[in-house]
Amino acid sequence: MQQNAPSSEPIVSLRDVQKSFGSLRVLDGVSFAVARGEVLALIGRSGSGKSTALRCIDRFEKVDGGEIVVCGHRVDRPDVNLRALRQDVGIVFQSYNLFPHLTIEQNITLAPCAVKGMASSHAKDLARKVLAQVGLEEKLHAYPEQLSGGQQQRAAIARSLAMQPKVMLFDEVTSALDPELTGEVLKVIEQLAADGMTMVMVTHEMGFAKGIADRIVFMHRGKVHETGPASILTSPTTPELTQFVGTGNLKS
Amino acid sequence: MSLQLDFPAVLERWPSFLAGAALTLELAFFATVLGALLGTVAAVGRGTHNALIAGACKVYVETIRNTPLLVQIFLVYFGLASLGLKYSAFTVAVAALTINVGAYTAEIMRAGFEAIPRGQIEAAEGLALSRLQIYWHIILLPAIEKVYPALTSQFVLLMLASSVCSQISAEELTAVANYIQSDTYRAFETYIIVAVLYVILSLVMRAGFWGLGLLLFPRRRRLGTPL
């Protein structure tokens, strides 16, 4: 395994992370780091542990061993301040998970008001701003069910952005979308990358990963099997990654 | 065999009927509000990781659901009396009905809580909301919306069941009817009138819940779709 040590203090770092579900070892000594402003793509087959690795960063899974540091929070420790951690980390899920009973505006303003104590008028301005960022200003007063899948996912990204996270996690955010709706979500993520957002994304969109990621982490059987710049997708060194990108995963 | 009905003899007691109906509605109102609170707390309690609290809530719910309401009313009535505590029949009736409907509410609310997708809660956790904030902002109203028909039926049933409070001489509708029929010897007419009044009270409650639903569920009001 090769390691590109980031020059500055990493925003996210995993060291020798272990995680099992029962007798199944999902993460078997996973290490990688993400520097400020870096975009890291986690790729691999289903069951390779990439989503679990991502969820460990926000402590949606507790690790059995190893060290995870995210924005200075020791995530592997039981006494980690979860709410402080999650103010620094934004996460977007495959199934959007917008709150169906709230308008898009209320979805976005809820956490800034409830968690940060932001004034309602200020939060509403913020909602407008982040919705403009994802191109959905006109949906401010709509309910989630009135939006297409792609719009819902963009609204979910806006909701995360409103908390002004230091790092964003994307867990297969286009996997539930029809191909024609995937593009609009990817474009938003591309813009975020261009704006310098630090991001970790689990993705099956190899063409997208290749275009946007500063670094690729290819996971295989719970281990980081191969890692390097996006160019490893076109010239993989391990037979497993060669096979993975060769099985039609590399769409442009 | 001939049936002779003499409604005027009974109907001239209409102020008593009205007072009884008002008291029944009042009983139902307080027991509904307090029972909804108690039941929601018990439903949350049953879902906590604290085994002691979850166990206590389970014992409460199962005990109430497996004993007759009349026995529960007597237990509260005579229990308080034997402790030397004196309360009005109305207070005792509200307390007993609250305890009763709270248990059923807890079961219905638990089903509502379980119907909230796990992803919603994860999204809220990811936004750094606290457990209490998640219950308050994310779980509570959608859960109520999902079980609203069952919940409101339960409260209407409670209003109808409050007729057994006549047994501890709370002056509600059935108790009033019992006096009037023994005064007038017109039992059939009296209970026909009482039955009609109960139907009206049920309709009043259902209308109230419909209006409350409009207030609580703005999304449903606007879109008309189930959650």
Contact A50, A36 (CB under 8 A): no
Q: What is the CATH number for B40?
A: 1.10.3720.10
Q: 10 Å Cβ neighbour count for B53?
A: 15
Q: How far apart are CA A36 and CA B167, in angstroms?
A: 74
Q: Do A91 and B126 touch (CB under 8 A)?
A: yes
> Is B210 part of a structural domain of the chain?
yes
Question: Which of A97, A106, A108, A116 to substitute to test the interface with B, most B CBs within 10 Å?
Answer: A97
% of chain A with per-residue pLDDT over 90:
89
- Total residues found in chain B within this entry: 227
Q: Please identify among residues 36-95 of chain B the ones whose CB lies closer than 8 Å to any CB of chain A.
A: none
What domain range includes position B127? Answer: 7-223
Q: What is the mean pLDDT of chain B?
A: 95
Q: How far apart are CA A208 and CA A177, in angstroms?
A: 15
- Say yes or no to pLDDT of A7 above 80: no
Q: Do B225 and A99 touch (CB under 8 A)?
A: no
Q: Do A97 and B125 touch (CB under 8 A)?
A: no
> Is B98 part of a structural domain of the chain?
yes
Q: 10 Å Cβ neighbour count for B128?
A: 22
Averaged pLDDT, B88-105: 97
Q: How far apart are CA A233 and CA A242, in angstroms?
A: 8
CB burial readout A102-113, b (16+ within 10 A) else e = bbbbbbbbbbbb
Of A86, A101, A156, the CB nearest to B128: A86
Q: How far lies B129's CA from each of A82, A180, B124, B211, in Å?
A: 10, 34, 6, 31
- The model's pLDDT over A232-251, given as tens digits with 9 standing for 90+, comes to 999 999 999 999 988 655 54
- The model's pLDDT over B1-60, given as tens digits with 9 standing for 90+, comes to 688 888 998 999 999 999 999 999 999 999 999 999 999 999 999 989 999 999 999 999
Contacts made by residues A205-214, CB under 8 angstroms, sequence distance 24+: A205/A174, A205/A251, A206/A43, A206/A233, A206/A245, A206/A249, A206/A250, A206/A251, A207/A250, A207/A251, A207/A252, A209/A41, A209/A43, A209/A233, A210/A234, A210/A250, A212/A39, A212/A41, A213/A39, A213/A40, A213/A41, A214/A38, A214/A39, A214/A40
Number of domains in chain B: 1
Q: How far apart are CA A159 and CA B222, in angstroms?
A: 23
Strand-strand pairing, A89-92 and A223-228: unpaired
Residues in chain B closer than 8 A to A99 (CB atoms): 120, 123-124, 137-138, 142
> Is B1 part of a structural domain of the chain?
no
Q: 10 Å Cβ neighbour count for A162?
A: 25
First CA to last CA distance, chain B: 56
Q: Is B221 at the interface with chain A, CB within 8 A?
A: no
Query: A179-194 vs A149-161: helix axis angle to the nearest 10?
Result: 20
- The model's pLDDT over A17-60, given as tens digits with 9 standing for 90+, comes to 999 999 999 999 999 999 999 999 999 999 999 999 999 999 99
Q: What is the mean pLDDT of chain A?
A: 93
User: Which chain A residue is nearest to residue B131, measuring alpha carbons?
Assistant: A83
Residues in chain A closer than 8 A to B119 (CB atoms): 93, 95, 97
Nearest 5°: phi and psi at B171? -80, 50
Contact A76, A19 (CB under 8 A): no
Q: Do A163 and B117 touch (CB under 8 A)?
A: no
- Give the pLDDT of residue A179: 87
Of A100, A101, A111, the CB nearest to B128: A111
> Is B2 part of a structural domain of the chain?
no
- The model's pLDDT over B200-217, given as tens digits with 9 standing for 90+, comes to 999 999 999 999 999 999
> Is B85 part of a structural domain of the chain?
yes
Of A114, A145, A159, the CB nearest to B137: A114
